[in-house]
Structure 1
Amino acid sequence: MTKKPPLKRPPTEVRVTLSDGQLDHSFNAVLIRAGLANKLNIPARVLEESAELFNRVPVYADHAPGHRSVRDLVGLVTEAKYDPDRQAIVGTVKISQSAQWLADLVSEFHDQQYFGLSADLWLRHTAEGLVTAIVSVNSVDIVMRPAAGGQFLHQEETTVADEQFAQDAETPPPAGDQDLRRELGEMCISLARVPETVRDTLRATFQTIPINIVTLRQLITAQEGAWSDLNARAAITAQGLRNSIVEPVAAIEAAFAQLMGIGDDPAYAGITAHRLSGIRELYDTLTGDWERRGLYHSDRVQFANATTTTMAEAVRNVLNKMLLRAFNIRPQWWSPVAHEEDFASLQTVRWVTLGGVANLDTVSEGAAYTEKTWDDYAETADWVKKGNYIGLTLEMIDRDDVAAVKALPRKLGLAAWRTLSSAVSALFTDNSGTGPTLADTKALFHADHGNLGTTALSANAWGAIVVAMFKQAEYHSSKRIGLRPRFCLVPIDLNQTALTIFTSDLLPGSANNDRNIYRDSANVIVVPEWTDVTDYAAAADPNDLEGVCIAYRYGRTPELYIAGEETMGSMFTNDEMRIKVRFIYAVGIGDYRALYKANVAG
C-alpha cells in the first residue's frame, strides 16, 4: 500500500513588488515562487494548482508563536493567480487603514530592504523534499529579513495629509474602502476566540454601526476577555462537590452531551457547561478548522489542553454513552435464560459438563477416602466479530446536522441489540427448529436427548414438559437431575396462551374449575425473531443448569471507536470521521438437559 506523503508547515519566503501610483495601501505582490525554499522544492505545477488557496487569506504583522491575535491583523490578500512568466503566484496585498504605521515603516526603510513577506502554509511533500501539494494557506505575514531573501523591491512615495489621521475614530471609511472594511471586519470576527453566537452579535454591530477596524478590535478584545472569565467560572463545579476543578475539555464534552440529549448522564454531574449551538460549534472549538478542511489548527483552538485527538475523544465518549443507552433500552429477553461469561482471550470457548458423580460414598470410621470416578464432555462455540462504521462527514458538520449525529449511535446500538438477539434466537430455530449439532453429533433438540416434543401449547402440554425435564439424568449416571422449567419462550402469537396458563387461578380449558397448579410456575418470554406461530420452548434457570451460554470478549455491550486524525485514514481520504461499532461474542449450548423444544405442526 502506498503511503501518503507527510504534511509540513514551513514558512515559505516570498517576494513583493509595489507598483507605481498605488493608493489605499494596495500592493501588487509576488506571493510565492517555484524553486527551493527551506530545503523543499516547490514545482511550478503545484503553484498553478494552488493559486486559489491564497485568495482572502489574512496578512499579519510578523510571525507569531502559538495562536494568532486579531491585534496582529493588518490586511488580506486578494486577486491571487498564477503567473506563468514569473512561475509564481501573484496577487494584491491590501493593508488596513488601521495599519498605517506599517505602511509608514515600509515607506521609510524600503531602501534598506528590511521587510519581506513569509507565507504560513501546510505543504505535502515526499521524503526527498519534493512538494506535491499545498494543502492550505494560513496567512501571508510581513516579516523582517526573510531567510530566503524575500523583500520589497520598489515603493513609490505616497503622501498622505496629516489631517487624515486626525479624523474621529468612529468616522466610517470612504465608499471605495467599504469592501476592504467588510473583508477585514469579517476576518477579525472569525478569528475571535468566542462562541459563534457572540460572533453573530459582533457582525450585527459592525454592519449597523459605522465603527472602524480599530474600534471593532477593541470590542472583540473585550468580548474575548468576558468569555474567558465566564469559562473560568464555569470550570468550577457546584458547591458541595468538593469544589473540584473541571478541565475545560470536560466541560465542552458535557456541553456536547447536552446537545445530544444525554446531559443527565451521571458522568457529567456537577459540570456546568454552556449550551452549544450545534455540532459545528463543537468542531470549530476543538479543532480551529473554521474552513472545514479537515485540519487541526492548534493556534485557533479555545482550550490549551486540546490536541489533534480531542474532538474524536469527546465525540466518542458522548456517542458511546448514547449507543449503550440504545442497546440497553430494549429488553434483553435472553438475559434470564442465558449463562453469560466474560473471557480473557479469543481461544475457542468450551462449555464443560461434568458427569458420573451421583452420590457421595460412605466413609467408615478410620477408613480411607476412595477416589470418585467421574467424566466430562464439552460443547464448543466459535467467536463472532460483528461491526460496521458510519461516517460523520465534514458536510454534516458544516450543515450543523444535529439530528443526523443523534441518530447515528441510536441506530448502531439497536443494530447491535438485534444482532445478538438473532444469534441467541437461532439456537432454537436452526436446522428446521432442532438447533445446532452438539458434540455427540446429534441436534440440540433430539428424541435421544429427551427434549423434543410436538404437542401444541396448553396446560397439559406444559405438564408433560415439566415431567420430561425433571426426569433428565446426569451425564454418565442414572441419577435424575430434578430440573423444572423456569421460562416459557414463545412467539408473540402464543403470548396470550402462555400468559393464560401461568396467571390463571383456575386450570385453563377445564370444565371442573380445577385449581391451576402451574400458576406463577414459569415466566413468559416473547422472542422477537420467532416467526413460527405454533412452536415454543422451555428453559431451566441457568443458575441450576446452563442451557443457553453467551461468551463476551471486551465487554457485554458493543464498543464504539472513532477515527478522527486529520492527516491519516478516512479524515484525510474521505473528509469524514468514521464511527465504528464492534461487538465480539460467542453463543452456544452448555447442556441440552436445561432446554426443551416443541415443534408443532402448523
Structure 2
Amino acid sequence: MADSLELLTRQASLAPQSINTSERSVEVIWSTGAPVRRRDMAGQYTERLSLAPEAVDLSRLYGASVLDAHRQSAVRDVLGSVISANVDGERGTATIKFSARPEVEPIWQDVRAGILRHVSVGYSVERWAETIDNGARVLTAVRWTPHEISLVPTPADPGAHIRMETNMTDKQSNAPTGNDASIRDGNLAIDNTVQTRTNIVASQGDVQTRAAVNAEIRSIGRIAGLDQTWIDSQIDTGADSDKARRAAFDALARRSAPTIRTEQVQVNLGESQDDPALRARQMGEALYARINPRHKLSEPARRYAYATPVDMAKDLLSLRGEVTSRLSPASLVTRALHTTSDFPIILGDTVGRVLRDSYQAAPSGIRQLGRQTSARDFRSINKVMLGEAPLLEKLNEHGEIKAGTMAEARESYKVETWARKIGVTRQVLVNDDLGAFSDLARRMGQAAAETEARILVALLESNSGNGPKLSNNKTLFHADHGNKAGTGAEISDVTLSAARLALRTQKGIEDRTIRVTPKYLLVPPALETDAERWLASVSPAKASDVNPFSGSLSLIVEPRLTSAARWYITADPGEIDGLEYAYLSGSEGPQVESKSGWDVDGVEIRVILDFGAGFIDHRGWFANAGA
C-alpha cells in the first residue's frame, strides 16, 4: 500500500468526459497501470498492472457490480453495474450504470456534481513477473482478473476517476461543447472532435436541422464502422445525434463484447488485493507453514513466508492507514491487538491449524469402535431401532397377502459443550517464539482428543463396569442381554469362543437370531501381550495347534480403561448399532475462537468441543470381567 506522502504527490487532472443523466450512466477510467508502492516480507516493492489486452481477463467485469468502497457484505453495498469494459494497453475504461434505488440517489447526485470522482478496481492476480528497476523490486501482474469497480474516497491509482462533463442532452443549448467524449470498443474511438456540433447548434432556442443531424449520423456510422443499413435506419426513425451515438455504442458492445454468462447476475464478487481480511488469511497460512514446514504455501501467501508476528502487525496497521515508522515491535503488536480484529484472527487461525493436526494424529483407541454422526442442536438425539422385517408367509389358496409389522426400540443421548481458554502472551509474539506458540496449540489438540476418549471410556465403564442404562432400564452388559460372561476369566480359546458364540446367537427385537460378526478385541494395556499371543498367526505342526482366532479379530488397546483385567469383544460399528458419538453439525472436532485479551496481555484463544456419545444397542458388544 502506498504511504500518504506518495499519495499526495501523485495527483491527476480530470479529463472532461460524458455523464448520461437519462441513462444514469458514466464513463470511468478504472486503471492507468500507475505504479503503487506496497510491502511484503521481503520489503517494499512497486506493483504494476499490465494493461495489455492479453494480460487482462475482462470476462468477470462484464455485468459485474459497482460497490461502495469494496464492501460486499450486503446487497445495499451494490450501487450499480458495469455495462461495458475495455483495455487498450494504456488504461482500462468502463461504462457504469447506477441503480435508481432511493438510497443510491444521493451518491448519483454527488457523482453528477463532481464531488465523488474517484474509483478503484478489485482484482485477483493469477501470475506475477518480478523485475529490478534501479535497484528496486517491481512486481507486474501479467495475468490478472478485475472483479468489481468501487467508488472510493482515495484510490491507489491516482488516474482512476470518473469523467465528469455531461452529455449534450443535459446541457443548455448555449453551453460549451465538450471534447474527448468517446465511444470505445477495443482500439476504436468515436472522437467527438470530428462531430460538427458547431454546425448543428445555433443560438439559444435554435434546434438542429434535419440535414445537419443526418450528416452527423452518417459521420458517426462511418467512424464506428457501421454499415449503410444502420445509418439508414437511424435517419428513417428520425433519431437525433445523441440517440444515434447511444445506438452506435450499443451496436459496438453487441458486436465486440463476449457473451455475458448467467452466473454474472449473482452477487459473487472477487476480493480486493487491499482487503485486510484477505491479507489476514494469507498471513495465518504463512505463520502455520513456518511451524509445519510440510505445508505447501498457496501462491498468495508466499509473500509472508518469512514474516514474523511483528512484521504482520506492521503490515496490517499500514493497510488501515496508520503510521508505523516510529513504533517499536512491542507497540506494533499492542496496537494491532487493540485497533484491528485481523491480528487475533491470524493467531487463532494458526492455532486452529496446529490444533487440528494434533487432534487428528492423537491415538483414537475406543473411538474406532463407535460410529460418528452429527446433531442439529443440543436437544436429545433419539435413535429409533427397527426390529427384524417380518418373515414371508406362504400364500393361501385365495392369494391373500397378510400385512406384517416391525417392532422398534428407542435410545437417546445428547451433545454437550466442553471448552477451555488459553492465552498467547504479547511477549511470545514480540519474540517470535513459534516453538512455544506451536507447542501450546499442539497440546490443546491432544487435550481435545483426550477429552473425547475419556468421555467414551467413562460411558463404557459406568455402573461399575456394566455400562450405561438403556431404555429397558437394564445396563448395557446384563445377563438378560446375553452379552456378559457369567464368570470373569482370562483371554483364552475357551473364553474367546464363548464371547464369539454369545454375539453370533444374539436375538433381535422380535426375538429372532440376527447376524452379528465379532471383529474387535478391546483390552487395557495390561492385557496387550496376552491378546497378541492369542491373536497371533503361527504355523502349527498339527491340527490341534491351529489358532482359530488368528486373523479373525483385530486388537484395539485403550490405555484409559481403568480395569486391568476386563476385556471386550465388539462387532463392526458399520454392521450393527452400538456405540455412537456425535458433533454439533458444522462443528466437527474442536473449534477455535480468538480475540484480543483482557485477562492476558496478548490474545485469548478459546477451544470449544461440542460432543456427545451414547450406546444405541447392546447386541454388538460383549464384556468379560477378566481374572
The answer to whether residue 508 in structure 2 is matched with residue 474 in structure 1 is yes
Q: From 344, 348, 370, give the equivalent of 1:316.
A: 348
Q: From 556, 562, 578, give the equivalent of 1:547.
A: 578
* Contact 1:255–1:274 (CA under 8 A) maintained in structure 2: yes
TM-score, scaled relative to structure 1: 0.55
In the alignment, the residues of structure 2 paired with residue 583 and residue 235 of structure 1 have an alpha-carbon distance, to the nearest angstrom, of 43
What are the within-5 Å matches in structure 2 for residues 26-45 of structure 1?
A: none
Equivalent residue, structure 2, for 1:463: 497
Q: From 421, 428, 444, give the equivalent of 1:412.
A: 444
Equivalent residue, structure 2, for 1:485: 518
Task: Label 1:297 to 1:545 Cα distance change in 2 as closer, same or farther (>3 A).
Answer: closer
* Contact 2:287–2:307 (CA under 8 A) maintained in structure 1: no
Task: Label 1:66 to 1:455 Cα distance change in 2 as closer, same or farther (>3 A).
Answer: same
Equivalent residue, structure 2, for 1:434: 466
In the alignment, the residues of structure 1 paired with residue 415 and residue 366 of structure 2 have an alpha-carbon distance, to the nearest angstrom, of 18
Shift in Å, 1:258: 2.2
**1:502-526 residue CA offsets vs partner (Å, 9 max, x unmatched):** 223368xx99743222111110000
Task: Label 1:317 to 1:360 Cα distance change in 2 as closer, same or farther (>3 A).
Answer: farther
Q: From 294, 311, 317, give the equivalent of 2:334.
A: 294
The answer to whether residue 418 in structure 2 is matched with residue 386 in structure 1 is yes
Shift in Å, 1:260: 2.0
In the alignment, the residues of structure 2 paired with residue 336 and residue 297 of structure 1 have an alpha-carbon distance, to the nearest angstrom, of 41
Shift in Å, 1:436: 1.2
* Contact 2:534–2:550 (CA under 8 A) maintained in structure 1: yes
Shift in Å, 1:193: 7.6
Task: Label 1:284 to 1:498 Cα distance change in 2 as closer, same or farther (>3 A).
Answer: same
The answer to whether residue 301 in structure 2 is matched with residue 261 in structure 1 is no
* Contact 2:503–2:518 (CA under 8 A) maintained in structure 1: yes
Q: From 319, 326, 329, give the equivalent of 2:358.
A: 326
Equivalent residue, structure 2, for 1:220: none
Shift in Å, 1:196: 8.3
Question: Aligned to 2:411, what secondary structure does the other structure show?
Answer: strand
Give the aligned length. 372
In the alignment, the residues of structure 2 paired with residue 347 and residue 370 of structure 1 have an alpha-carbon distance, to the nearest angstrom, of 39
What are the within-5 Å matches in structure 2 for residues 351-370 of structure 1?
A: 351-355=383-387, 357-363=389-395, 367-370=399-402
Equivalent residue, structure 2, for 1:400: 432
**1:522-551 residue CA offsets vs partner (Å, 9 max, x unmatched):** 100001201322111111111221111111
Shift in Å, 1:501: 1.6
Task: Label 1:547 to 1:297 Cα distance change in 2 as closer, same or farther (>3 A).
Answer: closer
- For residue 386 of structure 1, what is the amino acid of its counterpart? W
Shift in Å, 1:376: 1.3
Question: Aligned to 1:452, what secondary structure does the other structure show?
Answer: coil
Task: Label 1:408 to 1:229 Cα distance change in 2 as closer, same or farther (>3 A).
Answer: farther
The answer to whether residue 590 in structure 2 is matched with residue 558 in structure 1 is yes
Equivalent residue, structure 2, for 1:17: none
In the alignment, the residues of structure 2 paired with residue 493 and residue 319 of structure 1 have an alpha-carbon distance, to the nearest angstrom, of 36
Equivalent residue, structure 1, for 2:604: 578
In the alignment, the residues of structure 2 paired with residue 365 and residue 526 of structure 1 have an alpha-carbon distance, to the nearest angstrom, of 59
* Contact 2:503–2:622 (CA under 8 A) maintained in structure 1: yes
**1:152-193 residue CA offsets vs partner (Å, 9 max, x unmatched):** xxxxxxxxxxxxxxxxxxxxxxxxxxxxxxxxxxxxxxxx98
Shift in Å, 1:285: 2.4
- For residue 481 of structure 1, what is the amino acid of its counterpart? I
Task: Label 1:533 to 1:249 Cα distance change in 2 as closer, same or farther (>3 A).
Answer: closer
Equivalent residue, structure 1, for 2:563: 532
Shift in Å, 1:391: 1.4
Equivalent residue, structure 1, for 2:308: 278
Question: Aligned to 1:442, what secondary structure does the other structure show?
Answer: coil
* Contact 1:491–1:528 (CA under 8 A) maintained in structure 2: yes
Equivalent residue, structure 1, for 2:531: 498
Task: Compare 478-487 and 315-324 and name the one that shifted more.
Answer: 315-324
Task: Label 1:262 to 1:588 Cα distance change in 2 as closer, same or farther (>3 A).
Answer: farther
- For residue 543 of structure 1, what is the amino acid of its counterpart? G
Task: Compare 339-348 and 351-360 and name the one that shifted more.
Answer: 351-360
Q: From 514, 528, 548, give the equivalent of 2:545.
A: 514
Question: Aligned to 1:336, what secondary structure does the other structure show?
Answer: helix
- For residue 306 of structure 2, what is the amino acid of its counterpart? L
In the alignment, the residues of structure 2 paired with residue 224 and residue 381 of structure 1 have an alpha-carbon distance, to the nearest angstrom, of 67
Shift in Å, 1:197: 8.2
Question: Aligned to 1:441, what secondary structure does the other structure show?
Answer: coil
Equivalent residue, structure 1, for 2:84: none
Equivalent residue, structure 2, for 1:346: 378
Question: Aligned to 2:518, what secondary structure does the other structure show?
Answer: coil
- For residue 335 of structure 2, what is the amino acid of its counterpart? L
**1:537-567 residue CA offsets vs partner (Å, 9 max, x unmatched):** 1111112211111111133321111124xxx
**1:216-245 residue CA offsets vs partner (Å, 9 max, x unmatched):** xxxxxxx99977736x679999xxxxxx99
Question: Aligned to 1:425, what secondary structure does the other structure show?
Answer: helix
Shift in Å, 1:377: 1.5
* Contact 1:502–1:519 (CA under 8 A) maintained in structure 2: yes
Task: Label 1:504 to 1:489 Cα distance change in 2 as closer, same or farther (>3 A).
Answer: same
Task: Label 1:225 to 1:526 Cα distance change in 2 as closer, same or farther (>3 A).
Answer: farther
- For residue 490 of structure 1, what is the amino acid of its counterpart? V
The answer to whether residue 618 in structure 2 is matched with residue 592 in structure 1 is yes
Task: Label 1:233 to 1:581 Cα distance change in 2 as closer, same or farther (>3 A).
Answer: farther
Question: Aligned to 2:366, what secondary structure does the other structure show?
Answer: coil
In the alignment, the residues of structure 2 paired with residue 561 and residue 224 of structure 1 have an alpha-carbon distance, to the nearest angstrom, of 44
What are the within-5 Å matches in structure 2 for residues 111-190 of structure 1?
A: none
Task: Label 1:349 to 1:369 Cα distance change in 2 as closer, same or farther (>3 A).
Answer: same
**1:345-404 residue CA offsets vs partner (Å, 9 max, x unmatched):** 222012222226452334458734332222212111122211111112223222322222
Any unmatched runs of 5+ in structure 1?
A: 1-64, 73-191, 200-222, 238-243, 299-306, 565-569
Q: From 229, 240, 243, give the equivalent of 2:138.
A: 229
Task: Label 1:557 to 1:366 Cα distance change in 2 as closer, same or farther (>3 A).
Answer: farther
Any unmatched runs of 5+ in structure 2?
A: 9-36, 45-131, 146-270, 319-323
Shift in Å, 1:586: 1.1
In the alignment, the residues of structure 1 paired with residue 142 and residue 458 of structure 2 have an alpha-carbon distance, to the nearest angstrom, of 52
In the alignment, the residues of structure 1 paired with residue 490 and residue 458 of structure 2 have an alpha-carbon distance, to the nearest angstrom, of 21
Q: Percent of aligned pairs with the same residue?
A: 21
In the alignment, the residues of structure 1 paired with residue 495 and residue 442 of structure 2 have an alpha-carbon distance, to the nearest angstrom, of 41
Question: Aligned to 2:335, what secondary structure does the other structure show?
Answer: coil
Question: Aligned to 1:350, what secondary structure does the other structure show?
Answer: strand
What are the within-5 Å matches in structure 2 for residues 2-151 of structure 1?
A: 68-69=4-5
- For residue 534 of structure 2, what is the amino acid of its counterpart? I
TM-score, scaled relative to structure 2: 0.53
* Contact 1:334–1:421 (CA under 8 A) maintained in structure 2: yes
* Contact 1:379–1:438 (CA under 8 A) maintained in structure 2: yes
Task: Label 1:516 to 1:235 Cα distance change in 2 as closer, same or farther (>3 A).
Answer: farther
Task: Label 1:228 to 1:588 Cα distance change in 2 as closer, same or farther (>3 A).
Answer: farther
In the alignment, the residues of structure 2 paired with residue 311 and residue 235 of structure 1 have an alpha-carbon distance, to the nearest angstrom, of 30
Task: Compare 578-587 and 388-397 and name the one that shifted more.
Answer: 388-397
* Contact 2:313–2:333 (CA under 8 A) maintained in structure 1: no
In the alignment, the residues of structure 2 paired with residue 583 and residue 590 of structure 1 have an alpha-carbon distance, to the nearest angstrom, of 22
- For residue 549 of structure 2, what is the amino acid of its counterpart? Y
CA RMSD of aligned residues (A): 3.9
Task: Label 1:574 to 1:250 Cα distance change in 2 as closer, same or farther (>3 A).
Answer: closer
Equivalent residue, structure 2, for 1:154: none
Equivalent residue, structure 2, for 1:141: none
- For residue 456 of structure 1, what is the amino acid of its counterpart? E
